[in-house]
Amino acid sequence: MEIGNLAPAAPEQKQIKPAGGAADKERAAVKKVAQEFEALFVTMMLKSMRSTVGQDQLTGGGRGEETFRSLLDQEYANAAVRGGGVGLAPVLERELMRQRTTVKGDSNAD
């Protein structure tokens, strides 16, 4: 096992961020919302797909399986979105940012 440099770290220097910091935060928030929506969409799609197939005879079904199956579907959806998803999040992000700039532009014109 290696031990890194144990010297005390230099005090952090405050860096002046460019004025675009608020825009970066807004873009990150829009991206997160778009990904969450895509994950919700994929979860609903998986739930609909599961309703079309028969019940697994190995596990026997039951209330517990229903609960954990939905949690598993949520995790599958989150993993799919992290891996690129179905392409819905980038489209939503682009449109939300376009609408946001349009709204900001209209309010500045007043």
- pLDDT tens for each residue of 57-85: 777 677 778 778 889 899 999 999 999 88
Sign of the dihedral through C-alpha 49, 67, 41, 86: negative
Residue ranges of the domains in the chain? 31-51+60-109
Q: What are the structure tokens assigned to 93, written together?
A: 């992000």
* pTM summary value: 0.67
For residues 11-49, one letter each, b for 16 or more C-beta atoms within 10 angstroms of the residue's C-beta and e for the rest, the string is eeeeeeeeeeeeeeeeeeebbeebbebbbebbbeebeee
How far out from the chain centre does Cα 69 lie?
20
